[in-house]
Amino acid sequence: MTSHPEVPSPAPTAVPWNGHLGWGLVVLGFAAAIGLDPWSLSERDPAAIVGSPRMYVRLAQSVTIGMGLLQLLIAQILMTAEFGRRARALASWGTGLGSAAYVAGYFALAVRPGWAWVIPAAAVLNLAGLSALLAPTVRARRDPALALILAVLALGMLLDVVAGLFASRPETFFPDYLGGEDGLRQRMLRLARAAAIALAVLALLMRGLAARAPGLGVARWGGRALLLGMALMPTVLTSAAFTAVELKYLLPVPASAVFAGTLCAGWLARRHASRLELGGWALIAASMGAGLLIGMYAFDGPLPSPVGDYNAFARRVTRLGHAYSIVLGMLCLLAGRWQVVHHPTPGFGRLAAPLLVGGTALTLSGVLLAGAFSLPPALLGVGPALVVAALGLFHACRGAALAEG
C-alpha cells in the first residue's frame, strides 16, 4: 500500500478529546441497536409507528451516531489544519459539549418531552463551535474545499437549531405548512440534516485518500464530485422543504455526483488504501447507487413506491439498511485509515478487523432479512454487538499506538 500523508500531523499528545467523544458516541449508538433493532423491527403495523416510543428512540439513536461522526470529523480537522489556539478551543469545546447535550436532548424527547429545549440550545453550541473554524478558514482563503465542508456542517447545525425549536415549542415555532412528522416536507428536512454531516465526513475522507495519489485525475474529479454533492444535497432538500416541493426533482444532480465520487474513491482505494478501506468505499458506493433508485420514489415520486407507504415495514427496513450501509462503510474507512489493521497490537487487537467485517455483514443481513422472514428478534442484535466489540478494540489499539508515539 502506498501512503502519502495529507499534511504534517501534530504530535500524538495533540489529539483532541473530540475524537474520543466521537468514538464513544458511535459505540453508544450501536450498543443501543443491540436492543433497539429487535424491539423496533418487531412492530410491523405502520399505524403504530408514528409518534410512538419506537420512532423517538430510533431518532435518538440516529442522532447519537450522527453526533459521533461529527466529533470524529472535528477531531480530524483540528489535527490536520492550522487554526489559532482560541479558534481550536472554541471549536473543540463548543462542538464537544454541544454534541453531548444534543444527544441527551433527543433521549429526553423520547422519555421526558419537557426537556426538549436542550436540543436547540445544544445545536447553538455546535453552530458556534463550527463558526469558530469557518470564519478564519474563509478569511485565509487557503483551503476553499475545507471552507465548503465547514459551511455545509454549519448549515446542518442551523437546521438542527430550527428542528430543535420545532420539537421544544411547536405551538410557537412550528409552521403548519410543513405537515406531519411523516409528511414530505419534514422527511426532506430530516434527510438534509443527516446528509450535511454524512457527506461532509465522506468529502474529508476522500481528501485523505486523494492525498495518497497526488496528480491522478480520478482523485481530483472524484473529490470535486463529492464536494458538489455535499453542497447541493442539503441545500436542495432544505429549499424544497421550506419553499416549492417541486425542487425535489433536482435531487438526482447531487445524488449522481455523490455516487460518482464514491466510485472514484473505490477505484483509488484499490491501490492506495487498505482492504478494509476498499471494502468501506465499495459498501458506500453500493448504498449510494441504491439511493439513486430509492430517490425515485422516496419523496412521493416520480415513480410509485414498490415497498409501500412511508411507514410500511418493508420501507422502514429499506431505509434502515441504506443508512446502516453508509455508517458502517464510514467506520471501515476510519478504522482502515488508522492502520490498526496493518499494525495491530498483539493478542485480541488482531480480532478488530474481522469483528468489524462480521458485524457489518450480520447487521445488514439481519435488517434486510427481517423484511422477508420472521427472524427471532434476538438475532438482530448479534451484528451490532460485534460492531461494538470491534469498535472498542480499534479504539484501544489506536490509543496504545498513540501512547507509544
| Cell numbers standing for residue 17 | 478529546
145: closest CA among 66, 98, 244, 77?
A: 77
Q: How many CB atoms lie within 10 A of CB 142?
A: 10
Rounded CA gap, 65 and 62, in Å?
5
Cβ neighbors of 342 (< 8 A, separation 6 or more) are 1, 274
pLDDT in tens, 56-84: 888 899 999 999 999 999 998 998 888 88
CB 153 within 8 A of CB 103: no
- The answer to whether 280 and 217 have CB atoms below 8 angstroms apart is no
Element (H, E) at 287: helix 275-298
The reported pTM is 0.89
Is 288 part of a structural domain of the chain?
no
Residue 344 · residue 382 · CB < 8 Å? no
Is residue 244 in a domain? no
Stronger pLDDT, 289 or 399, i.e. the higher one = 289
Is residue 380 situated within a structural domain?
A: no
**Distance (Å, whole) CA 373 – CA 356:** 25
Cell numbers representing residue 41 in the block: 423491527
In a domain? residue 194: no
Q: How confident is the model at residue 2 (pLDDT cuts 50, 70, 90)?
A: very low
Main-chain phi, psi angles of 357, to 5 degrees: -65, -45
Give which of 366, 360, 368 is closest to 378, Cα–Cα: 366
| 404 pLDDT higher than 60 | no
Q: Domain containing 31: what range?
A: 1-174
Give the percent of the chain with pLDDT over 90: 58
Residue 86 lies in a domain: yes
Q: Does residue 163 lie within any of the structural domains?
A: yes
Least confident range from 45-49, 52-56, 348-352: namely 348-352
In a domain, 147, yes or no: yes
Q: Cα(312)–Cα(301) distance, rounded to whole angstroms?
A: 16
H runs (alpha helix) in 141-251: 144-168, 170-173, 184-211, 217-242
Cα 66 to the chain's mean position, in Å? 5
State the DSSP H helix or E strand holding residue 207, giving kind and residue range, or none if neither: helix 184-211
Which among 9, 3, 23 has a CA at the least distance from the CA of 335?
Answer: 23
Phi/psi class of residue 55: alpha, beta or left (left: φ > 0; alpha: ψ in -120 to 50)? alpha
401's grid cell: 499506538
Domain total of the chain: 1
**19-40 average pLDDT score:** 93
As a residue count, the chain comes to: 405
Classify residue 307: in a domain, yes or no. Answer: no
At 81-137, the pLDDT tens digits run 888 899 999 999 999 999 999 999 988 887 777 788 899 999 999 999 999 999 999
